[in-house]
Amino acid sequence: MGCVYFLPSEIECTIKNEQSVLELALKHKIDLDHSCGGSGSCGTCRVFLSWRKIAGAQPVDPPRGDVEAAMAEDRSFEPHERLACQIEPVDGMIITVPEYI
C-alpha cells in the first residue's frame, strides 16, 4: 500500500487495488479526461509524473508498456509525460493533471 498525490487538486489518495493512476483518480473523483475509457488510444489522460522524496529510497519511473510507448513516440512525450490509464500507481508518485483552457 502507499499514497499518490494529485496536483493541482492537492488530493492524496491511498493505493488499494487500483490497476492504474486513472482508476485511482476516478475513484477519488479527481477530474481527469479519459475519452477512450482507459485503453491508451486517445492520450487525453496525459499527466506529468514526479516523486516525493522518501528517506532511503530512490524512485524509478515505471517503464512504459507497448501501448504507452507507441503513444509517447507518436506525440513526442517527454520522459515525465505519462498516460494515467497505462501507469500503475506507486507510493510516492506526484501526478500533475494539466489544466486545459
pLDDT at 13: 97
Residues 42-66 have a mean pLDDT of 88
Lowest mean pLDDT among 2-6, 57-61, 80-84: 57-61
At residue 58 the predicted structure's pLDDT band, cuts being 50, 70 and 90, is: confident
CA angle 61, 54, 97 (to 5 degrees): 50
At residue 1 the predicted structure's pLDDT band, cuts being 50, 70 and 90, is: confident
User: Does the pLDDT value for residue 96 go beyond 60?
Assistant: yes
Identify the residue whose cell numbers are 500503475. 88
pLDDT at 92: 92
Measured CA to CA, the distance from residue 75 to residue 54 in angstroms comes to 31
What Rg do the C-alpha atoms of the chain give, in angstroms? 13
Identify the structural domains of the chain with CATH numbers, from first to last.
2-96 (3.10.20.30)
